[in-house]
């Protein structure tokens, strides 16, 4: 158990819909990362938050947004969903030190039909 909790584990939704994925980081970790993993794109970095503030942005679509709340949990919002958004979405958290590793949740498998 990594200590990072993601909900839900599975999500099936229709095209055009909006969903919210939730992540609770390990106790004490201030950084949260979101990644998308699909068969043809590998592991793509989407966005990072540090203590409530956006720290880095990767290949995140404009239809996607995220935030980190004061209790440090994070949500990834995906809207106007397309078939191509079907993927595994991972959240990871890490401590403050520049050399600390990241711990991953089990992921949310999103299927858009």
Rule CB under 8 A: say whether 20 interacts with other proteins.
no
* Cα of 56 vs its chain's centroid, Å: 13
The stretches of the chain forming alpha helices (DSSP H) are none
Strands 102-104 and 87-94: antiparallel
CA gap 42, 48 in Å, rounded = 18
Rule CB under 8 A: say whether 42 interacts with other proteins.
yes
Min dist CB 11 to other proteins, Å, is 16
CA gap 87, 5 in Å, rounded = 18
Min dist CB 105 to other proteins, Å, is 6
Site string for other proteins, 21-40 (x = CB under 8 A): ----------x-x-x-----
Min dist CB 50 to other proteins, Å, is 8
Structure-token pair, residue 92: 């990871």
Return the number of the residue (80 or 96) whose C-beta is nearest other proteins. 96
Enumerate residues 71-100 that contact other proteins by CB under 8 A.
90, 92, 94, 98-99
Nearest to 105 by CA among 10, 46, 29, 23: 23
Binding region for other proteins (CB under 8 A): 2, 31, 33, 35, 42-43, 45, 48, 55-56, 58, 90, 92, 94, 98-99, 101-107
């Amino acid at each position: 158990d990594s200590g990072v909790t993601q909900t839900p584990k599975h999500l099936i939704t229709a095209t055009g819909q909006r969903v919210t994925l939730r992540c609770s980081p390990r106790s004490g970790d201030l950084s949260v990362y979101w990644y998308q993993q699909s068969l043809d794109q590998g592991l793509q970095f989407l966005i990072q938050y540090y203590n409530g503030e956006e720290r880095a942005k990767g290949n995140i679509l404009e239809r996607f947004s995220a935030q980190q709340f004061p209790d440090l949990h994070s949500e990834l919002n995906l809207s106007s969903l397309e078939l191509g958004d079907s993927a595994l979405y991972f959240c990871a958290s890490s401590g403050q030190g520049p050399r600390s590793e990241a711990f991953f949740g089990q992921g949310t498998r999103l299927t858009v039909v």
